[in-house]
Each structure stands twice: as structure tokens, then as C-alpha cells.
């Protein structure tokens, strides 16, 4: 099988419909300044996070192949990640939540391969490689947490979205792209911000996906672990943000015990979080996840499950008590006076499956116009059809070649000529196929003889309802890639000249070139042409300090002057502490 990304023992298990989200890591597009930003953030993080992060973080950095000095190559990460049963793929920014969760279910980290700009060095609203590679990857070296992440993906990928969830995803994706692009206009950003805020305030009742995304945010992204008085960081959003990793430890940020209540606490991705949840240990995360899963339609089914699928307006699946699975876009459900579904209907391409495998002869080409069927027991008969033996079926005259009338509790009536029945491996009947068939709910016609062959699903109840198809192979165009692409930044000639200087300094450091003349020359160019660039000054100072060059005093004076700019004060101060405490 040919793919546009590297296959290994983990990624080769990914279903084909996820392949479209994977992009080639644009390593050649990272500028020398991008590399310097990575190095600065990673050195700051490792220095600070050794004190405040969960012990798995620092251990995991080396285990997962994350270098402090260089932005990681995806291929290199994968070679190391496979040792712990995981892999990583490169994607373009945010991908739809269900797809994100499904990757996770297959032990695959999706890594947004863009790199934050220097203007967002402390925090970026857009997912980037610092957040994904340096935030998520190290913690999965902890086996208990890795299993929680996989299980979360497995359950989360089945969560049912509302029609508004995808609109919110697209709005947040656009806002994050615009905010990270230095060429975006204030008007563009303001309009995108207003759209996100409007949607946040008008989402209505939270869908399963919205709730499980909240749980993901307050654990995987912004989770704390330990005690309320002395928590440690394990959430990737905090681990990858030198600003928030310090801010979150302040008393101003409220610390709350983590529980299922977090599912109803929304977040704003564009701002620092005013409160965080603390789990006592990783085992507690799995406990809360199971509590939430027990409330989901995948475990409860019923009328509410079908209604959730109808409201989602997206592809979903219900499973009947016989194990028969119906996948399609659900558009209607009829319920009895007790709130039990007695008939369901899909519109458009529908597929039937058993144990997540499409039934032969029941793919979308066979049910291209939808599928409808009664649910429940026959009126006046105690034995559900699914529990009837061949002798029972004969006694009730439900067999091939017989014209019959089946009246269900709730008022659904099926009348027609039985052609055949379809059974599973255990012999339980799952479908009865009719010709010349009429299906009614009192006076309402649900199926007419001239519509063709009628396949009636067998099941006394709906035991599960969830997002997506039972068999992914049933639907060719599964999953939608956003049409809003991450912006490729256009650099001016001046910026390109600056990045060449960054490249020279990088070369000096990596090749251990001891030359005060070169450092002085670059310093003078910076003073003249790029007087506000503080990061390259720090790298020059680090080298001058290391080799004890006399130019170090002049560079330090320049850095002290730049500290007057409040935007740089803490960044420069922290960088100077690193320079004085760490060797190259």
C-alpha cells in the first residue's frame, strides 16, 4: 500500500480515511529563527519544568527523542516512539475532533507541524510542534497515562457532535491561523474572534463531543496532578507554554479537584485559563472517563441516542439488540407513549453491518436512498422475533414465501411477502426481506411496494448510538478536511537577512567556532539593522559569555536596554538566567 507518509508497525494500522489528514512535515520551511525559538522555549521549559512538571515529563523527553537543540524530525521521533507502541504524524493545524480522537485511539499522536513565531513565543492559540511534540509526546512514555490517552481516543471518537460543533471547529481553526500569521490584519482577527465568541455564547445544550472535548482540555491539555496545595503539571498546553506553566502555579489560578463536572466547564482557547483541575493520579483520569462513557449514547442507546444522531446531521450508527448495526444520516424517529423508539429512518447512503463488518449485499450501493425499520416486539406476542427459534418463526408463519402482516407494539404494521431472512453466525435472525411490502404507522405510509425490496431490521431495542460508521470501509469519502489552510508566511527581504544571521550564530555554536570577530560583526549588524531583536542577542551573549569574549559587556548592555520594552522584559531576564546558569 502506497502512502504519502512513513508507515511503521503503528501507523500501518490507521484506517485509510484518516490518511487524508496527514501532511508532509515542512522541515525545510522552518527558519533559523524558528529553530532559535524552539531552543529558547525548550531550554526554558526543561529548566523550569524539572521543578513543577510530573516526573514522567523530563524522563519522557529522552525516551521520545525530543531534542532541546533542534525541532524534531517526525521520522526520528517515530523510530523512538515505536519502542513504546506509539507513533506521530504531521497534520495541518487543528483537525476535526472525531478524527483527532480516532488517531489517538490507534496510538498515534497528531502533530501540527507549524512552528510558532517569535511574537507568540510564550503562548500560541494555534497548535504547533512545540505544543504537540514537546508537550504531548514526553508524557506518553508513562504507560498508565498512555493507556488513558488511547482509551480516551477510543471513546471520544464515538462521541456524537451537534451541527454547531463543526461550525465552532472551523471558527476556532480560522482564528488560530489568523492570530499566528504576522501578516493578518486586525480587522480579520477581530471578525474571527467575534465569530468564535458568538458561537461560544450560542451553542445551546452541550453535545457529547463538546463535553468530551472539555474533559480532554482539562486533562490532556491543561491538567494538573497531585494535591490542590502542591500540584504538578502534566497537560501539554501547560508544558509547552513558558508563560502559562508559571502562571498556572500562582494562587490567582483556582485549583479544583478533577471530576466528571469538568465536562460542563467550557474553555476559551485564546486566553490563559482562570481555573484548572487537579487529579490525584492518572488512575483517577480513567475512572472519570468511564463515568462519562456510561452516560454516552454508545452505552445507553434508546430514543435519546437516535435523537442525538438526528441533531448532529452527520453520519452515525445505531446498534440493535441483535448486534445489527445501521450506519447513515439519521433523519427521523417515531417513539411510543413511553419514550421508546418504535421506528427509525436514515436518508441517503446507508450501510448495514454486524460486529463492525459490513453485511454482504447491504452496502451503500444497496441502500443509497436510506433505510427505515421498526424496533421492538410484536403486539400480543411475548417472544421477540430475535429470540424466536425456527420452530417459533414457523408457528407464527414468519418464513420464506409467506404473505404476512406483522403488527408491532406502538402501531407499526409491516405487510408483504417474505423473501428470505439473514442470520448471524450464532443463528440469530437479523433481517427479514420482503417484496410487495407496505409499512405504516397508523395512517402514515413509511414504505410502499413500488419502492422495491424492503429489508426489515430485527431488534427489540436500540442498545447503542454513536458517531461515525460501524465499518469505515462502507463509506469512501469519510471525514472532511478543512478548506481553510494554515497560512504560509511570506517573509520580507529584511526578515530573510535577519534569519541568515540566526543561521550564522547557529553554525558558530554547533561547530564550536571560537571567533570574537564573527560575533562582534553579527552584533554590529543587529544593532544597525535589527535593533529590536532580543533572541539573537541572547544567543550572541551566551557564546560571548562561554568564550569569555570582551564583547559580552556590550551585548549585555544592549539586552539591558531592550528590557525596558515590557514585551521583552521577562523573556530577556529568563534568558539571562539561563545563560549564567547553563553551559552550551
The enclosing H or E element of 153 equals helix 143-156
Rounded distance between C-alpha atoms, residue 424 and residue 466, angstroms: 22
In this prediction, residue 399 carries a pLDDT of 86
User: Among 260, 242, 12, which Cα is nearest to 123's?
Assistant: 242
Rounded distance between C-alpha atoms, residue 488 and residue 138, angstroms: 28
Rounded distance between C-alpha atoms, residue 205 and residue 192, angstroms: 23
User: Among 513, 567, 561, which Cα is nearest to 540's?
Assistant: 513
Window from 181-185, 293-297, 363-367 with minimum mean pLDDT: 181-185
Name the burial class of residue 224, with classes exposed (0-12), middle (13-18) and buried (19+) by CB atoms within 10 angstroms of its CB. Answer: buried
Window from 135-139, 144-148, 223-227 with minimum mean pLDDT: 135-139
Beta partners for residue 347, in sequence order: 329
DSSP secondary-structure letter at 326?
E
Which grid coordinates are listed for 377? 416486539
Cβ-contact 127, 112 below 8 angstroms: yes
Assigned CATH class of 301-474: mainly beta
Query: In the predicted model, is pLDDT for residue 584 greater than 70?
Result: no
Query: In the predicted model, is pLDDT for residue 4 greater than 80?
Result: no
How many other C-beta atoms can be found within 10 angstroms of the C-beta atom of residue 377?
A: 19
DSSP line for 87-131: EEEEESS---HHHHHHHHHTTEEEEE-----GGGSS--SS--HII
List the chain domain ranges.
11-207, 301-474, 493-581
* HEC sequence for 418-471: EEEEEECCCCCEEEEEEEEEEEEECCEEEECHHHCCEEEECCCCEEEEEECCCC
In this prediction, residue 161 carries a pLDDT of 93
Tell me the per-residue pLDDT of 49-58, one tens digit each, with 9 for 90 and over. 888 999 998 8
Tell me the per-residue pLDDT of 61-109, one tens digit each, with 9 for 90 and over. 878 778 889 998 888 888 888 888 999 899 988 888 889 999 999 999 9
pTM of the model: 0.88
Cβ-contact 409, 342 below 8 angstroms: yes
Query: In the predicted model, is pLDDT for residue 479 greater than 80?
Result: no
Q: What is the largest CA-CA distance in the chain?
A: 103
Which pairing describes strands 315-320 and 231-233: parallel, antiparallel, or unpaired?
Answer: unpaired
In this prediction, residue 1 carries a pLDDT of 46
DSSP line for 138-149: HHTTSHHHHHHH
Range 442-449, long-range pairs (CB < 8 A, 24+ positions): 442/411, 446/343, 446/345, 446/372, 446/412, 447/372, 449/416
Tell me the per-residue pLDDT of 404-458, one tens digit each, with 9 for 90 and over. 999 999 999 999 999 998 988 888 899 999 999 999 999 999 999 999 999 999 9
Rounded distance between C-alpha atoms, residue 215 and residue 395, angstroms: 53
Rounded distance between C-alpha atoms, residue 549 and residue 422, angstroms: 85
Which grid coordinates are listed for 531? 535593533
Assigned CATH class of 11-207: mainly alpha
Amino acid at each position: 500500500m502506497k502512502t504519502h507518509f512513513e508507515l511503521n508497525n503503528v501507523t500501518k494500522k490507521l484506517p485509510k480515511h484518516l490518511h487524508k489528514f496527514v501532511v508532509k512535515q515542512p522541515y525545510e520551511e522552518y527558519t533559523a529563527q524558528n529553530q532559535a525559538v524552539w531552543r529558547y522555549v525548550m531550554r526554558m521549559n526543561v529548566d523550569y519544568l524539572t521543578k513543577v512538571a510530573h516526573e514522567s515529563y523530563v524522563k519522557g523527553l529522552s525516551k521520545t527523542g525530543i531534542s532541546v537543540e533542534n525541532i524534531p524530525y517526525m521520522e526520528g521521533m517515530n523510530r523512538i516512539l515505536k519502542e513504546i507502541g506509539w507513533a506521530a504524524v504531521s497534520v495541518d493545524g487543528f483537525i476535526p475532533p472525531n478524527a483527532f480522537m480516532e488517531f489517538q485511539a490507534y496510538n498515534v499522536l497528531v502533530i501540527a507541524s507549524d512552528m510558532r513565531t517569535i511574537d507568540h513565543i510564550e503562548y500560541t492559540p494555534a497548535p504547533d510542534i512545540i505544543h504537540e511534540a514537546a508537550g504531548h509526546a514526553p508524557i506518553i512514555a508513562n504507560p498508565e497515562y498512555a493507556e488513558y490517552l488511547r482509551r480516551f481516543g477510543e471513546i471520544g471518537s464515538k462521541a456524537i457532535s451537534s451541527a454547531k460543533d463543526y461550525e465552532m471547529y472551523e471558527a476556532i481553526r480560522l482564528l488560530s491561523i489568523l492570530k499566528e500569521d504576522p501578516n493578518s490584519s486586525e480587522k480579520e482577527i477581530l471578525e474571527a474572534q467575534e465569530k468564535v465568541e458568538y458561537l461560544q455564547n450560542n451553542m445551546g445544550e452541550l453535545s457529547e463531543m463538546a463535553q468530551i472535548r472539555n474533559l480532554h482540555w482539562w486533562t490532556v491539555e491543561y491538567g494538573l496532578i497531585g494535591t490542590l496545595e502542591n500540584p504538578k503539571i502534566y497537560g501539554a498546553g501547560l508544558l509547552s507554554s513558558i508563560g502559562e506553566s508559571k502562571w498556572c502555579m500562582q494562587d490567582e489560578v483556582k485549583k479544583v479537584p478533577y471530576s466528571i463536572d469538568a465536562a460542563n466547564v467550557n474553555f476559551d482557547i485564546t486566553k490563559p485559563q482562570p481555573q484548572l483541575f487537579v487529579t490525584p493520579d492518572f488512575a483517577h483520569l480513567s475512572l472519570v472517563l468511564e463515568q462519562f462513557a456510561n452516560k454516552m449514547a454508545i452505552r445507553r442507546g434508546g430514543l435519546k441516542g437516535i435523537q442525538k444522531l438526528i441533531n448532529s446531521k452527520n453520519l452515525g450508527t445505531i446498534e440493535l439488540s441483535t448486534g445489527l448495526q445501521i450506519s447513515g444520516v439519521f433523519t427521523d424517529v417515531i417513539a411510543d407513549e413511553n419514550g421508546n423508539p418504535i421506528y427509525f429512518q436514515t436518508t441517503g447512503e446507508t450501510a448495514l453491518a454486524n460486529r463492525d463488518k459490513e453485511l454482504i449485499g447491504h452496502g451503500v450501493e444497496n441502500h443509497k436512498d436510506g433505510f427505515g425499520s421498526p424496533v421492538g416486539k410484536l403486539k400480543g406476542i411475548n417472544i421477540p422475533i430475535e429470540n424466536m427459534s425456527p420452530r417459533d418463526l414457523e408457528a407464527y408463519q414468519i418464513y420464506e414465501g409467506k404473505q404476512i402482516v406483522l403488527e408491532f407494539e406502538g402501531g407499526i404494521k409491516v405487510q408483504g411477502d417474505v423473501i428470505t431472512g439473514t442470520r448471524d453466525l450464532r443463528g440469530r435472525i437479523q433481517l427479514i426481506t420482503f417484496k410487495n411490502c407496505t409499512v405504516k404507522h397508523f395512517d402514515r405510509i413509511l414504505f410502499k411496494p413500488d419502492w422495491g425490496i424492503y429489508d426489515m431490521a430485527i431488534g427489540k431495542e436500540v442498545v447503542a448510538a454513536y458517531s461515525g460508521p460501524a465499518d469505515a470501509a462502507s463509506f469512501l469519502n469519510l471525514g472532511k478536511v478543512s478548506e481553510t489552510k494554515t497560512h504560509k508566511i511570506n517573509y520580507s527581504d529584511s526578515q530573510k537577512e535577519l534569519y541568515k544571521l540566526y543561521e550564522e550564530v547557529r553554525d558558530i555554536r554547533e561547530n564550536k567556532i571560537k571567533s570574537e570577530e564573527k560575533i562582534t560583526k553579527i552584533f554590529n549588524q543587529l544593532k544597525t539593522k535589527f535593533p529590536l531583536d532580543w533572541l539573537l542577542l541572547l544567543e550572541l551573549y551566551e557564546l560571548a559569555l562561554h568564550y569569555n569574549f570582551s564583547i559580552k559587556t556590550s551585548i549585555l548592555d544592549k539586552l539591558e536596554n531592550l528590557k525596558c520594552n515590557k514585551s521583552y522584559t521577562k523573556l530577556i531576564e529568563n534568558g539571562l538566567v539561563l545563560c549564567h546558569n547553563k553551559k552550551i
